[in-house]
Structure 1
Amino acid sequence: MTVAVHGASGTQGSHIARRLRAAGHRIRPLDSRSANLTDTAALLRAYDGADAVVVQLPQLFDPIAVEQAESVLAALGKAGVPRAVFNPGMPLPPAPVGAPFVDARVLLGDRLPERVGQASVVGPAGPYLENLLQPWSVRRVRDRGELAYPLPPQAPVPWVTLDDVGDVVAAVLADARPPERLVVGGPDAVTGDRLAAAVATATGRPVRYTQVEPAEYGRLIEPVMGAAAAAGVAGIYARSTDAPPPPLPDGLFRPGATTVEEWAARPDWTA
């Protein structure tokens, strides 16, 4: 199939595009220059002739995020694209929460089946392991022997790799009767201590896991993401601490293939 992929050169989209290419699909990469997310006409041109669209929204935390979701929905409905997969990039709450970043994703996920004949929402059940490869995180591992994240060290978390999400997206596109929703996690939920042990083995040096407060995590990622996005991400983690996500219905969860030990052995932690 010819698959138009939003954000195909970005951190999330590049992994998904690579897995789709490996599955034999032709990728039509879409970015802000080729597909302005608030311009329905531009989106219609970008979707023209595509057999499927993979949607990923950018990390925006102001009201334009909801406007972008509405434009994508309008364009998909008018373009007559046969299939679409939406990766929200986060576990979705069951209803809007009053934050544009989250609410745009809830809106798009809820209304996608109204606009596309075969619509699926496929996203992570927990955080991406690639979050730990941000420059500030790798430096902290290298300089302090510390893996820091705003989650408790003993809490089992379904950490997942971007490649595993990409493989599930590819499988959904190959399915004649695709599921409407799937969340992808690792083969098993792991604690922060196990995660640190995996990185320690990969680096050959002691590494401990440290829980940081969401506000502190925001300060750590601000040099990479910018002040607005960092504050938005910190707010998401603060909100998830106050209101943990509900348990997943049976059949909604799809385990990935990559263990944290296999993942940790791949990157160069000294780079």
Structure 2
Amino acid sequence: MMCRGLKAGACAALLLLLAGCQSTSQSAVNSPFRLETTHQAQGADQRIRFLVIHYTAEDFHNALTTLTDEHVSAHYLIPAKPPLEQGKPVAWQLVPEEMRAWHAGASGWRGRTNLNDTSVGIELENKGYSKHLLGKKFYPFPPAQIDLLANLSKEIVARYQIEPRNVVAHSDIAPQRKDDPGPLFPWQEMAQRGIGAWPDAGIVQARLAGRDPQQPVDQAQLLALLKQYGYTVTDDMTQAQQRRVIAAFQMHFRQSDYRGNADAQTQAIVQALLQQFPDKND
């Protein structure tokens, strides 16, 4: 017998290997053509270029139902309180990374549109916001949830060599209709852990050049800088739409004030980011 003299485990491994070879061989024999694969093109790269962070705006069980139906999906869903299995926190993978998930919708970033085709989407269980007389009240993210997100995101960023500028909020890529993950999401902490971009305080101060942070600046010039960084800015935008773009940037990088005002501090921050993370061929 083929396995005579081999231990049971080694025999099983050998049989599996031979079965795989036989299956491949039979597939090649039965195919009406043959593929020559010894010459691989250098002009190729990863399909995935972006990592998009969302919040669910509903509880975990409802979000799981929503994200597993036929209308919307995400690659990952992380509970507010991740359960532990053998001491490890658990995230839900709903779509394999190599497949497209329907999480971004109408979107744009750095000249690309329809980011579902080129991104991984992660949903965080979070209530989002509630409306009050003074505006929207956003809800924070528990430390255990952010720790799990950071560990998962770090692997994704490394796997696809995602640039810091391409780790984005849903509100960054769809500022006219989305607020998630909101101004309480810890972007600075994520950047400190190697995920995404964050402005260097010293460079921001240098760019501010002694101006009052609230000093108004030319809105068109600010929007041109935001477009250079990645945001979708068009000539036919209304004033309200322009302010939405500025507010989306501020929710990400100046979370203490995201009213959408074109001011000196916002300008200094985007200038710092463009200096720290220069554009690359995308």
Report the TM-score when normalising by structure 2: 0.31
Larger of the two Rg values belongs to structure: 2
Structure with a larger share of its residues in helix: 1
